[in-house]
Each structure stands twice: as C-alpha cells, then as structure tokens.
Amino acid sequence: MNKIYFKSISIILMLFCVISAFAQQTDSVKYIKAGRFIDTEKGRILTNQIIVVDHDTIKAVGDNISIPTGAKVIDLSNATVLPGLIDCHTHLSQQPGDNYYDDIFRKSAVDYAVIAPIYTKRTLLAGFTTCRDVGAAAFIDIALRNAINHGDIPGPRMLCATLFIGSTGSHGDLNGFSPYLDWVGPKQMSGVANGVDEVRKQVRYNIKYGAEVIKFGASAGVLSEEESVGAPQFTQEEMNAIVDEAHLWGLKACAHAHGTIAIKMAVKAGVASIEHGSFLDDEAIALMKQHGTYLVADIYNDDYILSDYAKHGTPEKIINKERLVGKTQRLSFQKAVKAGVKIAFGTDAGVYPHGWNGKQFKYMVKYGLTPMQAIQSATYNAADLLGWQAKVGSIAKGKYADLIAVKTDPLTDITSLENVSFVMKGGEVYKDELHP
C-alpha cells in the first residue's frame, strides 16, 4: 500500500515539475507581430513578419510562423519595427551642467556617477539599446556597464573605453588653469601619457580596469582650451604603439581626430574608426577607404553647442572653435559619404543632453545618406565597427532581442526616430506607447 502511495506521489510530483517547466518556458516566449519590418542587413523593408523571442534571444523570424493558442503576443502590426539603435560615440557619465566652471571646480567623479544612471535610462528609452562609450573619468563607465549588465539599473549595452589617452597639454589633459591646481575630476580624463613606452603602459592600464576599446586623442579638440583645434598631439610612432598594443590584447582602437594630418596619421596607425573627422581632404578619404576605416561624425551637436553653451559660461574661445569646425565637419561628412567611406552612427552624446541621440539622423540624410543608409549606420554598420555583429545590429535568429518600433515609416520620415514608441532590450519591454 505504501509503495503504491509513494509511487503515485512521485508520479504526481514529476508531472507537476514537467508542467511547471513547460509553463515557465511558455511564459518566456513572446511572439511579436511586425507590420513593417526593416531588414538592416539586406537594406529592405518587409511586411507582416513574426519575431519569436525566448528570454533575451531571437529564436525565429518569418512570415509563415504560426502563433500557438494562448501565447504571449506583442502586436506591432501598425508600426515599423527595426533593431535597437547603436550609438558609437557617447559619454554616458557626463552632460553639460548649468555652469562651466562649477562643473570643473565643484563636482567630483562621485557627483557624475550618482547622476549617470538617469542618462543611461534616457538613452535606452530613446531607442538606443547599445552604445560605445568613448571616454569617462574614474572608470564610471565600467561601473555603469556592470550595473546595467547585473540588472541593477536600466540602460543600453555598453562597450567601454575608460580613460581617454592623451598627451600632456592635449585635448585629454585639462589645461588653461594654474599648474598648482591638482585634481582628477570628470573633466580630467586622466589617461595622460607621452612616448612609446608610456602609451603602451596606458593602454594596458585601461585594459586592466575593463576597457573593451581603446580611445586616444590623435588631434587637438574643440571643447578644451588648447590653442589648436586639429593639430596632431601624438607622433606617428606613439599612435602606432597605441593601436598595436590594443591589437595585441584583441581590441580595436579609435581616434579622436579633427585635423587633416592627424586623421591620416591615425588611419595609417590602423584605427578602426575616426571620431569627428572634421577636416577631411581627398587623400584622407582615400586612405580611409583603403584601410576600411569607419567615420563616426557627430554632425548634430554643433547646433546645441552654438545655441546653448554660452548660456552656461563656456569660454568664448571654445565656442569660437566650434564655429570654425561645425560647418566644415558637415561638408567633410558629405564628401566622405559621396566617396563611399564606411559610416557608423555616433553623436558625442554627453556634449548635449542624453536621449536626444536620434536628432542626428536628419542631418545624416541632409548631408548625403539615404534614410536606409542612415538607419544601417546605427544598426548593421555600427555592430560591425563594434565587432558585435553576432549579437546586435539586425533582427535575426540567435541575436539579442533588442528591437524598437515607431508609429510611422522612418524611410519616409527619418525624424520619426527622434520619438521611438516601443523599446525592447534583451526580450524585456522598457517602453511601450503603442499599447496605452
């Protein structure tokens, strides 16, 4: 009698476990109806697709997938669905404050770290599910990345550069102040190194503390007080050493480079991308095509800098440099597009308010890209630059379930990407304005 009883109990428990496991599996599976679907890999638009998501991964995509009775369905039939967007040039740990000098003298890295989760959330809700973060003080970017990956705070997937590597007195070294001041704050990116041995050591230091891409200042910059806007700030040998050391560790390198000579030097050194690329000439463009170097040009933020920075006490010297660069950078972008240089989307978010990333699409189309090319620059091309094509950049089997939706067709009106209505990252819905 006891044997029959215990056997019956065992069978019931086994059935319960099987049913529970099946229920949990069913709960994890979502079926998404996509009315319009942008295939970023092939550059085409499809209709009436079904996307099957299991946990954080896309399991199937197609127009002949049947949806089981009782399955969890997300109906995006009246929207355009595309992969989560990628911004290849962000600074998620910072944003302009109300006063330029207060930011420098009265805030520490801790102040910035406390506020940064607000910026990661805004970026995610704007539809950017992946970002390459190319410079932060005190390893705030690594802390953000880890907190996001652990599920502690919402934000995009982050590929981090940690400390910007710059020479003494360069764009990466806070200057214009008394030499007797000493601090390591948010404006002091702190990766200051000179000479071949030192720059190799700095690359190793960054990697030791979590860098997944190496960023260095090939040229002078705009939002700093050194005299030049584009002069080289490392020698060719130093740039070669930075890139070579990154490659030894299996990482890519990118170069902040406005000036023509510095751009050419960085391309010859083997960087994966030129950031900004403001003063391109025909030779620089030819070199970029020859080496397969991406251009990541922040061609929106000129508007914001010229309209708002003076209000916050930014020195006139800096604003004058932006007046010199802004228009030229856009024309250089136009030349590069026409010549067939590879383009990846990057905005320099943090120079302007986070969450406004989508405003750049309009300018990319204005200066030469088709709407489809602009979208591909922020999806398929960006994933290629990051080395993450197996993970993100298109909606395909085996990739992360990162996707967004907009109410209208961005191929007809690219500005629709400024107001994303639906955001899913890793199978989890973070924003849904289509089903109030």
pLDDT digits (tens, 9 = 90+) for 27-79: 689 999 999 999 999 999 999 999 999 999 999 999 999 999 999 999 999 99
Domain residue ranges in the chain:
2-84+395-432, 85-386
Is-contact 328 280, C-beta < 8 A? no
For 85-386, which CATH superfamily applies? Answer: Metal-dependent hydrolases (3.20.20.140)
Q: Where are the beta strands (DSSP E) in 205-328?
A: 214-217, 253-257, 273-276, 294-296
Q: CA 312 → CA 89, 249, 305, 307, distances in Å? A: 23, 41, 10, 11
d(CA 19, CA 125): 36
Please provide residue 238's backbone torsions phi and psi, each rounded to the nearest 5 degrees: -65, -45
Cβ neighbours of 175 (radius 10 Å): 15
Q: Regarding the domain with residue range 2-84+395-432, which homologous superfamily does it belong to in the CATH classification?
A: Urease, subunit C, domain 1 (2.30.40.10)
Question: How many other CB atoms are found less than 10 A from the CB of residue 149?
Answer: 11
Low-confidence winner among 172-176, 291-295, 331-335 (lowest mean pLDDT): 172-176
Rounded-to-integer distance, Cα 277 and Cα 330, Å: 9
Confidence of residue 225 (pLDDT cuts 50, 70, 90): confident
Average confidence score pLDDT of the chain = 92
pTM, 2 dp: 0.93
Residues 6+ apart with CB under 8 A from 222: 229, 258, 305, 318, 321, 322, 325
Supply 109's token pair.
């890295």
3-state secondary structure of 22: helix
- Strands across the sheet with 85-90, in order? 85-90, 128-133, 157-160
The rounded distance, in Å, linking the Cα atoms of 156 and 159 is 10
Q: How confident is the model at residue 236 (pLDDT cuts 50, 70, 90)?
A: very high
Task: Give residue 98's pLDDT band: very low, low, confident or very high (50, 70, 90).
Answer: confident
Report, as an integer, the average pLDDT of 318-322. Answer: 92
Question: Which residue spans within 105-204 are E strands per DSSP?
Answer: 128-133, 157-160, 165-166, 191-192
Helices (H) and strands (E) in the chain, counts: 13, 16
pLDDT band, very low/low/confident/very high, at 25 (cuts 50, 70, 90): very low
- The count of residues in the chain is 436
